[in-house]
Amino acid sequence: MALITLVVAQLPAQDLGWLKDLPPHCRVVVHDHRDGASATDAAEALPEGSQRLVMTGSRGGLMGSFLAHVLDPALDPGEQHTVFCDGDALRHAPALLQLLEDPQRWADVQPLSIGAAVPTALVERDARDWIGALPVRPERYSLSTLAPLGWHDPAAEALASHYRSSHELPVGAPVMAHFLALAGLDALADAAAQSDIGVLAHGGVFAVRGPRLAALRAQPGDALQRLGLLCRADPQLRQLAERAVLHLCGLPMVRLDALVRPVEALTPSSLGMARVVASIDALLARAENPGAERPESVVLAPVLVATDTEPGLDPRGEHREAVRAQVREALAAGRPQDALALLLQATLADPSEVDLLGDAATLCFHRGDLAQAVPLARRALLRDPGHAESQFALAMSLAALGERIEAMVLFDDLMHADSAREFRGAHPDLTAVAAQQSHHLHQLDLQRRTQTRPVALALHD
């Protein structure tokens, strides 16, 4: 069985005697945060091969240990999981020792606790995340208020209130998005601003597979170092970081679906949203299987444009196409929310991945989720102003929202700008849609101006 590394943050008054019961495939790294600790301490009789690092004065707690481990230049996480916890892990994760026996059943980012303060009845009733007969219950909470969804947590309420007061935020401001932006984690902050629900592991007991840790450490900039400074400066900021750590490792946040509405209620013109989506779907069908007609019963899919099929793709291109293949699988299985989560997760790992941002925007538009399609398309265009696929998704979404002027400008660029020439050649169906939408919006604008002209003349006279 693959070796599992446990990174244990030992805080004052915590006894590590339980480590002697670990399965033999576990290796332990103890970050000792106790005052007066030394690397020669052996009172707990740590398992053979364990390592003790003295962290006295770091004030970073569990989050400090997590960041110190991830940023360790000697770290080679390999493919196996790393488990993070503090010295009191069994209080929050009573099944931890049994869970460590069978890591093959874990996800890439796997909460392992239930939480000491969570009502027992709730843990027993909410068994959706149990691993077999072993209790696991990640907490789903509001990214705006920090409150859990299933019970009243005064500590979360107090944390949100204190943060809002300290940063002079109005009631209703999204606390987690503001904190992540403060830490310089811009892509994660954008995801929090567009999502509703976050997920945390109580007590900070969770596991992460090696490639996720490697991707986290490889991200550009110094946001992780900045996050560490915030955690050391203020215990309450550290609590916020601990609430976000699963998402920092790549677990997607949750955005609730819009209520189902008739498609006709969103159409800006007689062309209709259904016809636009059908055109998009037909384009994808031809890209996947040239010359074949697609059955009418197939679930409609987004435009996954700019597909690289040439041999010798660069690593980023290979990753992009692997993500798109998973997205197409999810859509074919009727799981659009999973498809969107895959795209958002990929763009979180690499915020410069403009093509996948455009795919996510197009998927949101296709589903009628215009409120999410618009910011996703804008994010893509901020990174690549000439990204025509994102421009198309933004123009269609704005038109459906009644933002006619900006939509007209975008449609006109798609039809005439040099930067969109490749788009026009590759996607004549969508170019025709853009032309018809543009014509319709210009007609509406002319009609509006014609109707208001007599009033203006009367006032002038």
In order, the DSSP letters of 153-182 are: -HHHHHHHHHHHHHTTPPTT--HHHHHHHH
Q: Residue 45 has what pLDDT?
A: 61
Given this model, what pLDDT does residue 309 score? 41
Shared-domain flag, residues 9 and 102: yes
So what's the pLDDT on residue 82? 94
**Same structural domain, 226 and 319:** no
| Domain termination site, one of 223, 248, 273 | 248
Report whether 448 contacts 410 (CB < 8 A). no
Q: Identify the sign of the CA torsion 329, 333, 337, 338.
A: negative
Q: Which of 260, 230, 256 is nearest to 242 (CA)?
A: 230
Instruction: Tell me: do 57 and 151 sit in the same domain.
Output: yes
Does residue 211 sit in the same domain as residue 309? no
Tell whether 190 and 329 lie within a shared domain: no
- Under DSSP, the state recorded for 103 is G
Indicate if 271 and 237 belong to the same structural domain: no
Residue type present at position 208: V
Residue 319 is predicted with a pLDDT of 81
CATH number at residue 431: 1.25.40.10
Q: Is residue 258 part of a domain?
A: no
The pLDDT value recorded for residue 315 is: 67
**pLDDT value for 66:** 92
Mark which of 248, 277, 298 sits at the end of a domain.
Answer: 248
pLDDT at 236: 92
* Domain-ending residue, one of 214, 248, 282: 248
Length of the chain: 461
Report yes or no on 460 lying in a domain. no
What domain range is 351 assigned to? Answer: 263-448
Number of domains in the chain: 2
pLDDT of residue 334: 85
Q: Are 7 and 69 in contact (CB under 8 A)?
A: yes
Q: What is the mean pLDDT of each run of 10 residues along the chain (461 residues)?
A: 85 88 90 69 63 70 90 84 94 94 94 93 89 92 94 94 92 91 92 94 95 89 90 91 96 86 41 45 44 32 39 66 88 87 85 87 88 88 86 90 86 86 87 87 77 48 45
pLDDT at 59: 65
* Residue 459 counted as domain residue: no
